[in-house]
Each structure stands twice: as structure tokens, then as C-alpha cells.
Chains A and B, each alone.
Chain A
């Protein structure tokens, strides 16, 4: 039945591609999470009235974030070829996609982090100051925990965008479902392969959304 409907689909290869998509998305997500939180914290803390208020630094970070958000992802991949080659040692395969994926999505997530931090009650930060808390303590024990639901829903949105980016990265041979759909499906006119890959990507997106929403809801005690 399956073979009749999808004559060109070799499930073994499809699973490898699915695995590669998961691999790229999860590792890139981890990198994006860390880099994005650092960027978001910098944006928040150096802004006016922030704990490290610093106009110059804020301007520099905001500019970097805006520039990288403005570059279309496909061009970012090409621009990063030398960097990727230097870091990863190759410009093909799932690992080669990681630098572009992280650098492409961290500025976006950084903005979401900044917005999440702004939502933290100023009074609570002030209460912590009044207790004699250091800035580190305020970051780790007030700002991040109090914004965690928004940080999680932000990383969910970013993760879904990342799945899309992995598919684009597939075009330059990064592997994964996008790559598979393009080379084995589209270029060989095997549209059943494109279809199966699309369905799998949609399922992965739904899984991400579901997990993200559940975690965010569970964390939110407001």
C-alpha cells in the first residue's frame, strides 16, 4: 500500500534525513538559547535605567542584532562559508549548517529575550536590590526565573523558525529533510518524496509547539 502510493520513498533514507533535521535543530537551538540569552541580557541591562546602563554598548549590541536579523538566511549561509570552513572544517553536512543556524536565529531570539526581561516586574528587581542582592544574583535568581515562561515560548517560536532554516540550509547540502526533499524529490521529479518530507517537517513543528507550550504553561505560576 505505502509502496504503491509512494514508489520513490526509501524510508531508511528518510529516517536518516529526519534524524539530521532533529540533530541540526536541537544543537542550533541550544546554541541559540545560550547566545540569545546573553544578547538579550546585554540589551536589557545596558538599556536606559538598566543595571549596567551604557548607551554606547547598548547601541553596539543593538546594531549587531539588527544587522544580522536583516540579512536573509540564504545569504547569511553564503557569507559565513569562510567562517564555517574555519570552525567546522567543512562547508557540507549538518555540522556545517550549525554556525549559520545559530548566528541567524540568536539575534532574533535575543530580541525576544529582551522583551521577556522587560516584562519582569520592576518592583521585584527593586525588592532584590533592597535585600542587598548582587547583579549576578538578580540575573540568575530574579530576571531569568521570573521571565522563564516567556523565554520558553520564545525559544519555541525560534525553534520552529529554525526548522525552516534547516530546510533552507539543505539546499547547500546540509542534509536533513529539506536537503532530501530538494535533491531526491524535486530534482528527480519524485513528488511523493517531497510530500513525505513535508508531512514529517509539519509533524516535527507540531511536536515542538506542543512541547514548548506545555513547558511554558507548567512553569507559569502567575
Chain B
């Protein structure tokens, strides 16, 4: 478990002082993927760099598994850092080394004997799906492949925690997905704790269990990803949720729809972390003598299931419609009947 307590970092330049991280406290559980989201300049990078002390804190502490990182002397810090993997937006690979030599580097630093090093490197190359590219130089790899090398390198010494600083921000959407999948895979397979910072909500949505929203050096909101999606409290959080769900304005278009139908009912289905009711529409259509017309909606997948809303038009016998709606109400999907004007 990682405990961050009253952590602060003040940068002083000639003209001004900046509180990049301001009295920040967080608890991160073992084995979870914890996301930190915020706009550029919010202090995310500074925060994650304070965890392995690439920046020294002005105040506060970071405790990883009962080891107070903030109190370690230089020598002990170096050893502790071997237990903290880190990957970067721009990969930061050594261009002068091949894939396998890059992955071998942290093992050399840790003083692992050559034979063992080679075995471990092979294992890691297979883990991240780079078999056959061992002898390639970074300049011969795609962005996604480079990040795979970065991940393998970060995992080499079996760290307790993996820090990801905008690890997918330099990648195209498809490559981003494949890297995120790899991270989930590693999290599940190795039980590795992952702390990930990003400015993109879909990264949080896809892989994080919990999320903290950061603004001006402070955590302004945190919780389970689904809760934050469902009940965003702060304006900034709502903005991030809109990145994915679109904003509420689209519901205005509903008025137009209402005019088109003079029979049946328009119903809004709200999916909240659905794992079991994903085939709901087809079930209802089969069981009841009704016609279902999908009007509009947005459903997205999170680590904890589907989330979003869907507007449908149900037509048919009044009684049958009522039975169908009662059935849907009995599931965990929330139903809201939109009244005709």
C-alpha cells in the first residue's frame, strides 16, 4: 500500500513561486490501478516524480509498504528505486542500445549476474510481446513497440509499483488501447500496483479502478471510477466525464423525437456498471410483444462494466409496454419514462 501524506512541492524561480503539488494526501491500495487525471499544468508529473523522488518534496511524505521514501538517504533511495518502475510519455529509451540491452539496463544497475540477466530479459520480451525484435534498435521500432520496451524495462527488477507518466499520450488511439490492455494484463497477472497519470478520461475509463482528479496541485475529487462517472461533483470532473459521455445538450434533440411518435413510450435506460444486463434489449424484444426502436444514446465500457444511457421508443399494446418496463425496472438498469408533451 502507498500512503501519501500532506505532500507539497514548491518551485521557486526568480520571478515567482509555484505550488506545483499542494498538501496532497492519497491512499493507494495494493494491486489496484489508480488514475490521476488533470489538465496540463495541474501538477500531475510533479506528483508522480515525488513518489520516486525524482523531485524532492518541500513537505510531506510518501510511504510505500512501510518504507518512508522521503526519509531515505541517497544510497537507500537508489535501492528503493529499483522497486519502483517508471514509464514515460516519450519512452526515454537509450538509442545506443538494442531492445534487449535496454531491458537489461536496470538489471545491470541492480547487479544481476549476466546469465540471469539474459534469462530475465527473454521472459520480459515474451511478456510484452516483442519476441523477434530483441536485436532491433529503438529507432527501428514503432511508438507502441517502444513503450513495450519501456514497460519491460520498468518491470525488470520486479517492482512493487509501476508509475506511468502520460504513458500513452504520444500514441495513436489503437496503439493506446493495446498498451492499456498490456497494463491491465500485467496488473492482473503480477498483481502489480499501477499509478497512472493522464489528461485523457478514456484512459481512466478503460483501465483504472479508482481515480483522483487533480487541479492546481490539489486532489479535488476521488473515488471509484464508476462513482466519479456517475456522480461527478466538481465542474472540472464533469468536464472530464463529458469528454467521453458527450454533454447534456444532446438531450435537447429529444424534443424533436417526441414529435415524431404519437403512440408508445420513450424510455431512457441508464446503465450503471452493467456486467449482467448487456443483452437487455434483445431479451426484452424476445419476451414481450413489442417493437423497440433505439433512438440515441451513449454507452461506454469501464473496468467495472458498461456505463451510460440509451433512449429507446417502445411501441405496441399499452399493457405489454407496461410489463416490459416493469421487467426492465426489476433489473439493475435504471428506467425513466420520458413524458410526452
Measured CB to CB, the residues of A under 8 A from B are 121, 123-124, 126-134, 137, 141-142, 145-146, 148, 219, 221-222
Contacts and interface: CB of A to CB of B under 8 A. Distances in A.
A148 B88 contact: no
Contacts of B95: 146, 221-222
B86 A148 contact: no
A114 to B, nearest CB: 19
B132 to A, nearest CB: 18
Grouping DSSP codes into helix (H, G, I), strand (E, B) and loop, the A interface class, with mixed when no group exceeds half, is helix
Contact of A123 (B88, B106, B109, B153): B88
Contacts of B79: 132
B54 A130 contact: yes
B110 A132 contact: yes
Interface in B54-84: 54, 77-82, 84
A3 to B, nearest CB: 52
B172 to A, nearest CB: 21
B198 interface: no
14 contacts: A121-B92, A124-B92, A124-B94, A126-B92, A127-B93, A131-B82, A131-B105, A131-B109, A132-B78, A132-B80, A132-B109, A146-B95, A146-B96, A221-B137
> Chain B CB within 10 Å — which of A121, A126, A127 has the most?
A127
B139 interface: yes
A6 to B, nearest CB: 48
Contacts, number: 64
Nearest to B89: A123
B52 interface: yes
Contacts of B105: 128, 131, 141
Contacts of B97: 145
B90 interface: yes
Interface string B138-161: 110000000000000100010000
Interface of B: 52, 54, 77-82, 84, 86, 88, 90, 92-97, 105-106, 108-110, 137-139, 153, 157
Given A145-B97, A221-B96, 18 more contacts: A126-B54, A127-B86, A127-B153, A129-B54, A130-B54, A130-B81, A131-B105, A131-B109, A131-B157, A132-B77, A132-B80, A132-B82, A132-B109, A137-B108, A141-B108, A145-B96, A219-B96, A221-B137
A146 B80 CA distance: 26
Given A132-B109, A141-B105, A222-B139, A127 B92 contact: yes
Contacts of A123: 88, 90, 92
Contacts of A141: 105, 108
Contacts of B96: 145-146, 148, 219, 221
Nearest to B90: A123
Contacts of B82: 131-132
The 6 A-B pairs at the shortest CB distance, nearest first, are namely A132-B81, A127-B92, A123-B92, A132-B78, A221-B137, A131-B106
A141 B109 CA distance: 10
Contacts of B110: 132
A151 to B, nearest CB: 12
Contacts of A137: 108-109
Given A130-B52, A130-B84, A132-B78, A145 B94 contact: yes
Contacts of B81: 129-132
A130 B159 CA distance: 12
B109 A130 contact: no
> Chain A CB within 10 Å — which of B77, B78, B96 has the most?
B96
Contacts of A132: 77-82, 106, 109-110
Contacts of B94: 124, 142, 145-146
A137 to B, nearest CB: 6
A40 B235 CA distance: 52
Nearest to A142: B94
Contacts of B93: 124, 127
B22 to A, nearest CB: 23
Nearest to A124: B92
A221 to B, nearest CB: 4
A129 B52 CA distance: 10
Given A148-B96, A221-B96, A130 B86 contact: yes
Contact of A221 (B106, B139, B153, B157): B139
Nearest to A134: B78
Contacts of A127: 86, 88, 92-93, 153
A89 B96 CA distance: 44
A221 B88 CA distance: 21
A121 B90 CA distance: 10
Nearest to B87: A127
Contacts of A124: 92-94
A124 B110 CA distance: 17
